[in-house]
């Protein structure tokens, strides 16, 4: 009985239909004529678009292809420049020059693809270069030379000491002149301005009438010389000597440096 029965084809469509019935909703299966028609239309559209893309390329693609084709194609006699070279004895495949020392191939062309201006790009490069130079200069300026630093500080101390001595000598000159009933200094700058009787405008007029404007160092030398000659007084000794002999014997000298060396 088993031999007489027909074998069942488990892979046939009829057998699958019996198993799933008419309500098969597996994804990917087309269940209606409209759906099949839509799929076929989309497939045809994709094929048409791909053919259109091949047939109608963009302007950039065509230009790029023609440019590459032109650069890769060797010159021939149809080119006027090449024709002139041939008339002058040039043979294709040889180098230029009498001794054949020139180039064998033309200079390659580097095509600029973007639309950014060359001048604008160069400005960016220049600005970056200047910025780096400023940074380097600033770093260099921040590095202080020890010898230069010490010299600057020494000059600052000397200048401060100079102004201190000058103001002190002006006050002492005023006090000693006043004891001698002198109402006006020999020079306007011999006394401090705030100890003089005339007002500021008169002082400025006196300064304008003066032909020589002395430096602070020169003023100090002149004023201390006046005190030594007129009153036998040394600013740095802080002493009024008895006479010129006493001054010469007991005072180291007329400058601060003489007294510093003595100390």
Tens of pLDDT along the chain (263 residues) come to 444 456 666 666 666 566 655 555 555 555 567 777 888 888 888 887 777 766 666 777 777 777 777 777 777 777 777 777 777 777 776 776 666 666 766 666 666 665 555 565 677 777 788 888 888 887 776 666 788 888 888 999 999 999 999 999 999 999 999 999 999 898 888 999 887 665 555 555 555 555 467 888 999 999 999 999 999 999 999 999 999 899 999 999 999 888 876 54
Distances 85 to 107, 124, 182 between C-alpha atoms, Å: 16, 42, 106
Distance CA 158, CA 220 (A): 13
3-class SS at 207? helix
DSSP 125: H
Largest CA distance in the chain: 165
Distances 216 to 163, 219, 222 between C-alpha atoms, Å: 7, 5, 10
Asked if 139 and 234 count as a contact pair (C-beta separation under 8 A), the reply is no
Which pLDDT belongs to residue 126? 79
DSSP 116: -
Which pLDDT belongs to residue 2? 45
Q: Which DSSP string corresponds to 99-162?
A: TS-S-SSPPPP----S---HHHHHHHHHHHHHHHHHHHHHHHHHS--HHHHHHHHHHHHHHHHH
Asked if 191 and 170 count as a contact pair (C-beta separation under 8 A), the reply is yes
Cα-Cα-Cα-Cα torsion 172, 174, 178, 179, nearest 10 degrees, comes to 10
Distance CA 215, CA 222 (A): 11
Reported residue count of the chain is: 263
What is the end-to-end Cα distance of the chain in Å, rounded? 144
């Amino acid at each position: 009985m088993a031999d007489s029965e027909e074998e069942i084809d488990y892979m046939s469509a009829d057998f699958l239909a019996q198993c799933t019935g008419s309500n098969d909703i597996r994804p990917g299966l087309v269940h209606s004529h409209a759906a099949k028609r839509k799929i076929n239309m989309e497939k045809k559209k994709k094929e048409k678009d791909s053919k259109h893309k091949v047939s109608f390329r963009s302007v950039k693609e065509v230009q790029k292809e023609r440019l590459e084709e032109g650069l890769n194609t060797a010159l021939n006699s149809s080119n006027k420049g090449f024709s002139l070279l041939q008339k002058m004895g040039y043979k294709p495949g040889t180098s230029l020059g009498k001794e054949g020392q020139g180039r064998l191939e033309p200079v390659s062309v580097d095509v600029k693809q973007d639309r950014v201006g060359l001048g604008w790009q160069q400005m960016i490069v220049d600005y970056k270069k200047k910025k780096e130079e400023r940074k380097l200069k600033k770093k260099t300026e921040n590095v202080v030379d020890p010898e230069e630093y010490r010299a600057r500080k020494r000059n600052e101390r000397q200048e401060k000491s100079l102004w201190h001595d000058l103001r002190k000598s002006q006050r002492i000159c005023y006090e000693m002149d006043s004891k001698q009933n002198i109402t006006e200094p020999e020079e306007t700058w011999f006394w401090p301005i705030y100890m003089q009787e005339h007002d500021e405008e008169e002082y400025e007029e006196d300064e304008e009438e003066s032909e020589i404007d002395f430096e602070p160092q020169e003023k100090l030398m002149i004023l201390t010389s006046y005190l030594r000659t007129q009153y036998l007084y040394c600013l740095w000794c802080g002493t009024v000597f008895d006479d010129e002999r006493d001054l010469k014997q007991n005072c180291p000298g007329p400058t601060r440096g003489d007294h510093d060396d003595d100390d």
